Structure 1
Amino acid sequence: MTEAAAGGPGLADAFGRRFRYLRLSVTEVCNFRCTYCLPDGYRKLGPARFLTVEEVRRLVAAFARLGIGKVRLTGGEPTVRRDIEALIAGVAATPGIGKVALTTNGWNLRRHVAAWRAAGLTHLNVSVDDLDRARFAAITGGDRLPAVLAGIDAALDTGMPAVKLNSVLLADRAEPSFERFAAFVRDRPITARFIELMRTADNAAYFAANHVPGDRLRVWLDAQGWTPLPRLPDGGPATDYAHPDHRGRIGLIAPYASGFCDGCNRLRVTARGRLRLCLFGSGDIDLRRFLADGQEAALAARIRLALTGKAAGHRLHQGDTGDLRQLAQLGG
């Protein structure tokens, strides 16, 4: 039984924010070359000593005992790991974990999604930066849109409870992209989410040329009759919008909006087992050394102590991106 279920304090920081959601990177490797993240492709930095399946099980069990109920496996591209099905199964089998999510670029989704669903996957996010085939290829570095869309249809066929698409909001041709995604979710029970482009240490020039505030989508949604919905307690940072003529929804993640960090409910652990208190913070805390037998109490204590140092919010507005080089380090 988790502390939260038992009436215990769960995980909270000095600002009263409660944490129910863990984003766990399982690799830094990515096989796409997205213009906003890895335009030159993945380049190995040191030995690839990523968390093993057993280490992931121990780590997730510790967080579950502290009240975490939702875990998202991310990367890099998590499905480049050959043991991704075992990772999903290990997380899903953890007492207290009710939602097991995966963020993927969808490159092998059609072939494997049924097995991942059988292993315990409940929530799926697929990165689809445009529904125009040529623009998708230009952004991601490969002509893979038909295969990715086939994988999304295959995911829906499995009865996956939640399927979402992630698209980075770019200044060039934003409104045509809004229109394409709105048409796509008209008859599909999918949420298409636009994520405001975020500055990182390696993309300053790209950010300056391509960033557009999330308000551009908000204005468009309002004009088209979309209505914002309440956020779920263990949901991510998106605001979702519904329309009476659409089965699906449109979402917006706007990290530059005022008060974005006020409702933070998620923690991040890197593929090497280091706790990150903020995507755009600096420094991290080694949890891997506590993943041996008999270290459960020490691990829980270290996580709790770390939360006392979580800041009120990021400093993106001041141009401070922390020590994040690119989003592939942590999966966003």
Structure 2
Amino acid sequence: MLIDHLGRIIEYLRISVTDRCNFRCIYCSTHQNWKWLSHKEILRFEEIEKIVKVGAKLGVKRIRLTGGEPLIRKNIEILVEKLSQIPGIVDLSLTTNGFFLEELGGKLKKAGLKRLNISLDTLNKEKFKILTGVDAFEKVLKGINLALDLGFNPVKINVVVIKGFNDDEILELAKLTFEKPLEVRFIEFMPIGKNSLWNENHIITAQEIKEILNKYSPLIPSNSVGGGPAKVFKWKNTLGKIGIISPISEHFCYKCNRLRITPDGRLRPCLFSDNEINLKPILRGNKGTLEEAFERALRIKPAKHHLNFTKRPMRAIGG
């Protein structure tokens, strides 16, 4: 079992398989000078598999694949199949912008992927294009519907709420839970990667989101699959659920159960901290062991995060 210096049990590993993305979302890519990592810098599938095997032996039970956009990574279904067969891994999920699900959803399900988080910050086609830089609203909707049809469970919709941009759609997005068995998750806007768009005036807090939803209909506490930080609710007579994630206004650091692997092989104990452990000398040079790296990560995992802009943009950390 992985237990850090504050007694938190670590069982969740988020692994970014690429820093590349076909979208340019305003909260992720604005005014970034990040250069794409070269092919040789990116972890190979066998290296990721080795990390997960060691992690599983130490107590990791849940794996989430992220990016950038993870479905850009060629043959991603092969990695999914390898990880799904590792003893001790009980939950294997993936976060995506949904663009490639029509092409790859069936392969991912067959390979052993259990569930999906799909980003969708607006239901307005023109806003979607402004937000992402891509005219792909209908394609993403088709991907969401396909994910449901294929039996991914749950299918979670990630909504980053930005005051003055999409906060007027909170109710409309939440009402998707009447139509489909989705978990719509509202996430406070975070200061990742020196994003010039971010400032405190653009934050809609978790409490404000909850008040908007409660005014429409009383929220009923519920639960969710995945061991993540969302507080989960539902309305009466809905097919789906509503999650609220509050990294800014209501820290959940005291119960943080995760570590992150960046696409270039850095073990990162905290999203908001640039303190990382380079795993490539271990994987490619036999300098130390992965077990030692995990133990060090447990020692340096901070008690709580601070609202400092990270050096890396989100796509280079893993969303």
- Structure 1 spans left out of the alignment, 5+ residues: 1-9
Structure 1 SS opposite 2:28: coil
What is the CA–CA distance in structure 1 between the aligned matches of 2:262 and 2:246, rounded to whole Å?
Answer: 23
Letter of the 2:13 partner, please give it: L
Indicate yes or no: 2:122 matched with 1:122: no
Q: Deviation string for 1:247-279 (max 9, x for gaps)?
A: 111111110133421110111011111100100
What is the CA–CA distance in structure 1 between the aligned matches of 2:244 and 2:101, rounded to whole Å?
Answer: 24
- Closer/same/farther in 2, CA of residues 22 and 52 from structure 1, 3 Å limit: same
Counterpart of 1:5 in structure 2 is none
CA RMSD of aligned residues (A): 2.1
- Closer/same/farther in 2, CA of residues 205 and 238 from structure 1, 3 Å limit: same
TM-score by length of 1: 0.89
Counterpart of 1:3 in structure 2 is none
* TM-aligned CA deviation for residue 176 of structure 1: 3.4
Q: Residue 249 of structure 1 is aligned with which of 230, 241, 244?
A: 241
* TM-aligned CA deviation for residue 284 of structure 1: 0.6
- 1:152-163 superposed matches below 5 A: 152-163=144-155
- Closer/same/farther in 2, CA of residues 175 and 246 from structure 1, 3 Å limit: farther
Counterpart of 1:325 in structure 2 is 312
Counterpart of 1:58 in structure 2 is 50
Q: Residue 304 of structure 2 is aligned with which of 287, 306, 313?
A: 313
What is the CA–CA distance in structure 2 between the aligned matches of 1:244 and 1:42, rounded to whole Å?
Answer: 46
What is the CA–CA distance in structure 1 between the aligned matches of 2:35 and 2:209, rounded to whole Å?
Answer: 36
Counterpart of 2:94 in structure 1 is 102
C-alpha contact 2:193 2:314 (8 A) present in aligned 1: no
What is the CA–CA distance in structure 1 between the aligned matches of 2:37 and 2:165, rounded to whole Å?
Answer: 38
C-alpha contact 2:268 2:297 (8 A) present in aligned 1: no
Counterpart of 1:92 in structure 2 is 84
C-alpha contact 2:19 2:37 (8 A) present in aligned 1: no
Counterpart of 2:273 in structure 1 is 281
* TM-aligned CA deviation for residue 91 of structure 1: 1.0
- Structure 2 spans left out of the alignment, 5+ residues: none
* TM-aligned CA deviation for residue 307 of structure 1: 0.9
What is the CA–CA distance in structure 1 between the aligned matches of 2:45 and 2:77, rounded to whole Å?
Answer: 10
Counterpart of 2:219 in structure 1 is 226
Counterpart of 1:303 in structure 2 is 294
Indicate yes or no: 2:30 matched with 1:39: yes
Q: Residue 12 of structure 2 is aligned with which of 13, 21, 25?
A: 21
* TM-aligned CA deviation for residue 42 of structure 1: 8.4
Higher relative contact order (CA 8 A, sep 6+): 2
**Overall identity of the aligned pairs, in %:** 37
Q: Deviation string for 1:75-99 (max 9, x for gaps)?
A: 1111111121111111111111111
C-alpha contact 2:220 2:236 (8 A) present in aligned 1: no
* TM-aligned CA deviation for residue 168 of structure 1: 0.5
Q: Residue 197 of structure 1 is aligned with which of 189, 200, 218?
A: 189
* TM-aligned CA deviation for residue 175 of structure 1: 4.9
Letter of the 2:317 partner, please give it: L
- 1:236-275 superposed matches below 5 A: 236-275=228-267
Indicate yes or no: 2:63 matched with 1:71: yes
C-alpha contact 1:74 1:331 (8 A) present in aligned 2: yes
Q: Deviation string for 1:121-157 (max 9, x for gaps)?
A: 0010011111111111111111211100101111111
C-alpha contact 2:65 2:93 (8 A) present in aligned 1: yes
Structure 2 SS opposite 1:308: helix
* TM-aligned CA deviation for residue 169 of structure 1: 0.6
Structure 2 SS opposite 1:76: coil
What is the CA–CA distance in structure 2 between the aligned matches of 1:231 and 1:128, rounded to whole Å?
Answer: 19
* TM-aligned CA deviation for residue 13 of structure 1: 0.8
Letter of the 2:12 partner, please give it: Y
- Closer/same/farther in 2, CA of residues 278 and 133 from structure 1, 3 Å limit: same
Structure 1 SS opposite 2:300: coil
Counterpart of 1:138 in structure 2 is 130
C-alpha contact 1:188 1:247 (8 A) present in aligned 2: yes
- Closer/same/farther in 2, CA of residues 283 and 259 from structure 1, 3 Å limit: closer
C-alpha contact 2:32 2:195 (8 A) present in aligned 1: no
